[in-house]
Amino acid sequence: MVDILENIGRRIKNSEYLEGVLLAYRAVEAAIQIKLIFGHKINPWHPEYTFKSGFNKLNELEGGKYKELEN
């Protein structure tokens, strides 16, 4: 994570703004993955954790307060 942030700084200093933005996006993505793994014990790369199963797990943890939208 620190490496990504340092790389963003280098890219911006070199006026490589597109690369800086892409790396910033990756830093946010990595932070979210870390939160899922350590904060919620969810492995984001495990095929069991699709959006629907993730929603169901969150809803279960929150006492069923969310309702699923119908198409």
Residue ranges per structural domain of the chain: 2-40, 45-71
**pTM of the predicted model over 0.75:** no
- If phi > 0 it is left, if psi is from -120 to 50 it is alpha, else beta; for residue 3 that is alpha
Predicted pLDDT of residue 3 = 87
* Local mean pLDDT, 10-residue blocks, the chain (71 residues): 88 94 92 89 76 78 78 61
Cα distance between residue 18 and residue 12, in whole Å: 9
Given this model, what pLDDT does residue 50 score? 67
Please tell me the predicted confidence (pLDDT) of residue 18.
94
CA dihedral 24, 56, 37, 9 (to 10 degrees): 10
CB 36 within 8 A of CB 57: no
